[in-house]
Chains A and B, each alone.
Chain A
């Protein structure tokens, strides 16, 4: 049984535990084992928290990576934000001098980081290790709905020479594999507005989220699939905040893992979709 160390991050356990439930079901169906990363902390988040101080942030990230490394496993993330922070930290720590510096801090708390393992997004793991064709074989309940795919900014983070569309395209392929019809819009790449919502709510709502919602509605989109819990929370809470600006939407937004679990035949009731702040439960019952 192949093992993966899953980095749950902050958003999933605290705001969207349904994603954790769905991930466990999907891994079970795929015959993969989840290894817990005991003692992980915030990654720290790439847009706000990480700019506290480079050295501090790098040491916190290295501490997280060291937990998976001790188990000899790659860190697999379900969140684009965690992906960016941890991926970049790993990249920076390839540099021996920086690693030495970070290790001098980590040694004081009884940890060490060698840089042996990788950081991977769940989209990559499913696309590369499992393969879209294998996923297709497991689909029991083809999804009958028109869904939009929201990639999320940091999914575009790519190594030197790697196609920046590789992971976003994998995400689209995975959604298509469940049988869903994909509604594309030219606003698919636009940020959900989460990173800027702390700094300027009006901008984040009116300039990012509203045009996206407007486009989804015009195209008859029934739901939005994301691969990041922060985008998910922003798009759901954001729809509630948009009422202030005189706009009413009720667009279900949910995580890729929930979509996969539903298509693999997990009954919607077992997924606790009620924690969502958008009508995901209703859509789930309709589309499978």
Chain B
């Protein structure tokens, strides 16, 4: 995300980025259908997590939208996406905000660790210890991922995974 935040706390570049991801977001009329469909809101204590408010902050281009750690409570279940009466895709918007949060170095440490693992080994999980499980069922040990250089090359070319 580029651009400056003005005195009113609005970043027009952020607003543009968000609208580019989902044009329908400008149609949001804050009805709250997303909140009532949201499984994260359902189980979190009232007011702690609200996709409606996140959408509003994103629309305003407020940096609060991606600075909220609760952003990562979204599990991409797509209930809001399916039910929005105006065709807004909150899951995509939240995804973009997570991406921005990562690139600004605001993502929680486990997220950063996971990304590093994928980019360096090609696997989401470390294979350490997996031979114990596999050995118990008579399966061969997993080999180190031979194609890891390809993944590294992709990361290098796209300049991804840097916070």
Q: Could you list which residues of chain A lie within 8 angstroms of chain B, going by C-beta atoms?
A: 10-11, 13-18, 20-21, 39, 41-42, 44-57, 59-60, 63, 84, 105-106, 108-109, 111, 153-154, 156-158, 164, 189-191, 194-196, 198-200, 203, 207-208, 211, 272, 274-275
Contact = CB atoms under 8 A, between A and B. Distances in A.
B160 A57 contact: yes
Given A44-B124, A108-B157, A199-B111, A164 B82 contact: yes
26 contacts: A14-B127, A39-B147, A41-B123, A41-B147, A41-B150, A45-B118, A51-B99, A51-B107, A55-B158, A55-B160, A57-B160, A59-B157, A108-B157, A109-B150, A109-B154, A111-B150, A153-B76, A158-B78, A189-B39, A191-B77, A198-B111, A199-B111, A200-B73, A207-B43, A272-B137, A272-B138
Majority-rule SS of B interface residues: helix
Q: Which has the most chain A C-beta neighbours within 10 Å: B43, B107, B127?
A: B43
A14 B142 contact: yes
Contacts of A274: 136-137
B75 A13 contact: no
A207 B125 CA distance: 25
A43 to B, nearest CB: 8
B27 interface: no
Contacts of A14: 123, 125, 127, 130, 133, 142
A13 B111 CA distance: 22
A84 to B, nearest CB: 6
Given A10-B125, A164-B82, A56 B158 contact: yes
B114 interface: yes
A41 B151 contact: yes
- Top-9 shortest CB links A-B: A56-B160, A53-B160, A272-B137, A153-B77, A198-B110, A207-B43, A41-B122, A14-B130, A195-B75
Nearest to A191: B75
A158 B139 contact: no
A48 B43 contact: no
Given A42-B118, A45-B118, A191-B75, 12 more contacts: A15-B130, A51-B99, A51-B102, A52-B161, A56-B119, A60-B151, A60-B154, A63-B150, A154-B76, A196-B75, A200-B72, A207-B44
B16 to A, nearest CB: 16
B49 to A, nearest CB: 9
Contacts of B147: 39, 41
A36 to B, nearest CB: 14
A49 B107 CA distance: 11
A54 B50 CA distance: 24
B79 interface: yes
Contacts of B44: 203, 207
Contacts of B95: 50-51
B115 A195 contact: no
Q: Which bucket holds chain B's interface residue count?
A: 35 or more
Contact of B142 (A13, A51, A111, A272): A13
B77 A154 contact: yes
Given A10-B125, A15-B133, A53 B76 contact: no
A111 B149 CA distance: 14
A46 B148 CA distance: 20
Given A105-B154, A109-B154, A207-B44, A156 B133 contact: no
B125 A39 contact: no
B103 interface: yes
A78 to B, nearest CB: 15
B154 A191 contact: no
Contacts of A45: 114, 118, 124
Nearest to A204: B73
Contact of A158 (B43, B75, B82, B98): B82
Contacts of A60: 118, 151, 154
A203 B74 CA distance: 12
A169 B108 CA distance: 35
